């Protein structure tokens, strides 16, 4: 098999999608673009974060499909777990709760781990909850987790992800 590089004026994600399409076509396999799945995604990569003395075991939603599905279809989530949405670059991020069964709180997080703002979100609604400024990260936890631990906007999350520059 010949290796190749795509030198196209597209984002890295778009280049990966095109490369995957080319590779699957070369192998004679069908290729379809990713869409949200029908069940919960439980096998994503995980990262350990901290909020003060509290440890968070977060699944990482880094691809467009993983972010689109998020915590949809989950019927329960342990209290110390959450999902960290990672975007390619800071932008105003807005979330809704279509097909999401759990009440959640979204923490919109700056590159250095500082929580910009928090938003409580009701299950199965289309209400939009947005970051107060451009952010690259959004951490979703069970609703009430941040409040019970007295973690507010301005608090800093820890983890290897936030110390990279």
pLDDT single digits (tens) 1-59: 333 333 333 344 433 433 343 333 333 433 333 444 577 888 899 999 999 999 999 99
Q: List the chain domain ranges.
A: 8-35, 46-163
Percent helix / strand / coil, the chain, rounded to 5: 20, 35, 50
- Structure confidence by residue, pLDDT tens digits, 62-106: 999 999 999 999 999 999 999 999 999 999 999 999 999 999 999
Q: What is the pLDDT of residue 37?
A: 59
Q: Which residues pair with 56 in a beta bridge?
A: 49
Q: pTM of this prediction?
A: 0.76
Superfamily covering domain 46-163: Protein of unknown function DUF192 (2.60.120.1140)
Question: Which has the higher per-residue pLDDT, 153 or 13?
Answer: 153
């Amino acid at each position: 098999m010949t290796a190749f590089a795509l030198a196209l004026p597209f984002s890295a994600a778009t280049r990966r999608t095109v490369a995957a399409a080319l590779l699957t076509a070369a192998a004679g396999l069908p290729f379809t673009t990713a869409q949200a799945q029908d069940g919960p995604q439980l096998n994503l990569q995980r990262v350990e974060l901290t909020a003060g003395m509290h440890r968070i075991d977060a699944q990482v939603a880094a691809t467009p499909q993983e972010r689109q599905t998020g915590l949809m279809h989950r019927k329960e989530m342990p209290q110390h777990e959450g999902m960290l949405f990672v975007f390619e670059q800071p932008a105003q991020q807005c979330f809704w709760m279509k097909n999401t069964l759990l009440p959640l709180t979204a923490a919109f997080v700056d590159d250095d781990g500082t929580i910009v703002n928090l938003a409580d979100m009701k299950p199965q609604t289309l209400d939009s909850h947005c970051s107060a400024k451009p952010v690259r990260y959004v951490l979703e936890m069970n609703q009430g987790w941040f409040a019970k631990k007295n973690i507010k906007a301005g608090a800093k999350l820890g983890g290897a992800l936030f110390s990279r520059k």
